[in-house]
């Protein structure tokens, strides 16, 4: 079955760069049917979209985070990655990677990773 | 702030019907999706498109749309439906994804 798994440091210092990778299995990342996205959820709060990437490299970012976010894809490893620079305590959150299905009309995130908690602290 | 507005909390008696709504201008142009999230778990998709359920989602979950409002209806709510529910869609530009603030559903 399709699985997404986040990996990366759980603790990041303020002003540094948060880096996470999502490994995709059970489906080709090289598909015209999907985008690949990152979503985060601060403790006790709601979901916030960070950005999406298509396997050919086109990206879409949340305007409120765009200046600090880079999402990239490595099709040879079936992975896509998130970098968020100049982090502060406000970036502490559970970070999810997810598959966005662009064949479903409403472009839903139909498969999610389990999420990884990243804490920004010195 | 969010481009999609949800009531923060809703309650329903066991076995009764509950409607959770989501409002936003972009919903006049784009379909929405609905997610269920239980504590400590990742969200799962329950409704997408006009009114479609992924495999494994009970048929007591349904979706609808009218004007700038979409709704998730649970007909005959069960105890296991107690969770946070989020809507999402695209923003007015069509290029970006937005989530509603979430609705906490309590089953009494």
Q: Say whether A60 and B31 touch across the interface (CB within 8 A).
A: no
B2: confidence class by pLDDT, cuts 50, 70, 90: low
Given a cut of 50, is residue A26 above it in pLDDT? yes
Paired strand residues for A48: A40
Q: Say whether A108 and B33 touch across the interface (CB within 8 A).
A: yes
Q: Say whether A49 and B44 touch across the interface (CB within 8 A).
A: no
Given a cut of 50, is residue B1 above it in pLDDT? no
The torsion region of residue B37 among left (phi > 0), alpha (psi -120 to 50) and beta comes to beta
Across chain A, mean pLDDT equals: 96
Output the pLDDT for position A22.
98
Output the pLDDT for position B3.
86
Cα–chain-centroid distance for residue A9? Answer: 14
Q: Which of B94, B97, B103 to mutate to test the interface with A (most CBs of A within 10 A)?
A: B97
Q: Say whether A52 and B89 touch across the interface (CB within 8 A).
A: no
Q: What is the pLDDT of residues A60-111, one digit of tens each?
A: 999 999 999 999 999 999 999 999 999 999 999 999 999 999 877 788 999 9
Paired strand residues for A23: A5, A79
Q: What is the pLDDT of residues B41-99, one digit of tens each?
A: 999 999 999 899 999 999 999 999 999 999 999 999 999 999 999 999 999 888 899 99
């Amino acid at each position: 079955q399709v699985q997404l798994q986040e990996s990366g440091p759980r603790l990041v210092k303020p002003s540094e760069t948060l880096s996470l990778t999502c490994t995709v299995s059970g489906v080709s990342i090289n598909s015209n049917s999907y985008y690949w996205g990152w979503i985060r959820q601060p403790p006790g709060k709601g979901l916030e979209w960070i950005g999406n990437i298509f396997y050919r490299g086109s990206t879409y970012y949340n305007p409120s985070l765009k200046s600090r976010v880079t999402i990239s894809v490595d099709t040879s490893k079936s992975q896509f990655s998130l970098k968020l620079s100049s982090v502060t305590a406000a970036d502490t959150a559970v970070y999810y990677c997810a598959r966005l299905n662009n064949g479903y009309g409403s472009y839903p995130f139909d498969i999610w990773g389990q999420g990884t908690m990243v804490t920004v602290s010195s | 702030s969010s481009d999609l507005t949800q009531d923060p909390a809703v309650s329903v008696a066991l076995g009764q019907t509950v409607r959770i709504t989501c409002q936003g201008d972009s919903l006049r142009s784009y379909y929405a999706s609905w997610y269920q999230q239980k504590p400590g778990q990742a969200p799962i998709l329950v409704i997408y498109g006009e009114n479609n359920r992924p495999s494994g989602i009970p048929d007591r979950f349904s979706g609808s749309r009218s004007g700038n409002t979409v709704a998730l209806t649970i007909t005959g709510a069960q105890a296991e439906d107690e969770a946070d529910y989020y809507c999402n869609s695209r923003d007015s530009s069509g290029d970006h994804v937005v989530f509603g603030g979430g609705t906490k559903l309590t089953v009494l």
